[in-house]
A = this chain, B = another copy of it.
């Protein structure tokens, strides 16, 4: 399944005990209703509370002989209006949304217009000042490639490797928006939001673009920039 959602009112992707409103929980509820059995849904990753998606991918093992299109219609009929399954297909029994993912694209959108974004306010982060895009691009060039991103990891108790590979970071101004697009093999918790906060500090002159190598080297979350708000973030695509 590919799933688009407005994460504004959800406690993130992953279902949790005693928490009703998660995307995974909503999908499992509707698929369980459809099949009459408990269904577990496996996502390509976990989006945090308030993060949106256009391209989240998830799989489930179900006993069902409905055509994929009918499953999609059923899901969209019973899911709330802020979740839409944009594609359903049958895949090999061995397919695993997370283990088979080869890359992900996240986009973080900032608003730099003079006026408040009345209609897009839930999908953008409003900046008071306009950051320097060329400086941010220079800093971003240091961040692409394979590095230990411990400085950009929001989980202080992370025990596994914090090495990740970023294929590309593009920073583009489109009208009143600046879009940061991150394509990588995988990302640590809050990593995209901390990268964006750090790049914005570069763009606003609070950091030097050339300070990125030392920041990576430090391996210390305290040295990186702030975590920008969840609402500007959207999972765009998962590669297989």
Contacts A76-B115, A116-B76 known; A121 to B86 CB distance under 8 Å? no
| A171: Cβ under 8 A from any B Cβ | no
Q: Are A6 and B118 in contact (CB under 8 A)?
A: yes
How many of these chains are in the complex? 2
Q: Are A81 and B118 in contact (CB under 8 A)?
A: yes
- CB neighbors of B among A67-103 (8 A): 76, 81-84, 86
- CB neighbors of B among A110-148 (8 A): 115-116, 118-119, 121, 123
Which of A6, A82, A115, A119 has the most C-beta atoms of chain B within 10 angstroms of its own C-beta? A119
Residues on the B chain within 8 Å of A6, using CB: 118-119, 121
A76 to B115, CA, bound (A): 8
- CB neighbors of B among A1-33 (8 A): 4-6
Query: Per DSSP, are chain A's interface residues mostly helix, strand or loop, or mixed?
Result: loop
Q: Are A118 and B83 in contact (CB under 8 A)?
A: yes
For residue A87, which residue of chain B has the nearest CB? B115
A82 to B86, CA, bound (A): 29
Q: Are A81 and B4 in contact (CB under 8 A)?
A: no
Q: Are B116 and A123 in contact (CB under 8 A)?
A: no
A116 to B77, CA, bound (A): 10
A201 to B44, CA, bound (A): 43
Q: Are B5 and A82 in contact (CB under 8 A)?
A: no
- CB < 8 Å neighbour of A115 from B84, B119, B121: B84
Residues on the B chain within 8 Å of A81, using CB: 116, 118, 121
A118 to B7, CA, bound (A): 10
Q: Are A84 and B118 in contact (CB under 8 A)?
A: yes
Residues on the B chain within 8 Å of A115, using CB: 4, 76, 84, 86
A5 to B119, CA, bound (A): 8
Q: Are B118 and A123 in contact (CB under 8 A)?
A: no
Residues on the B chain within 8 Å of A118, using CB: 4-6, 81-84
A110 to chain B, nearest CB (A): 15
Given contacts A6-B119, A84-B118, 7 further A-B contacts (CB under 8 A): A4-B115, A4-B118, A5-B118, A6-B118, A6-B121, A52-B119, A76-B116
- A-B pairs with lowest CB-CB distance, top 6: A84-B116, A84-B118, A4-B118, A81-B121, A6-B118, A84-B115
What are 14 sample pairs from A and B whose C-beta atoms fall under 8 A apart? A4-B115, A4-B118, A5-B118, A6-B118, A6-B119, A6-B121, A76-B116, A81-B116, A81-B118, A81-B121, A82-B121, A84-B115, A84-B118, A119-B123
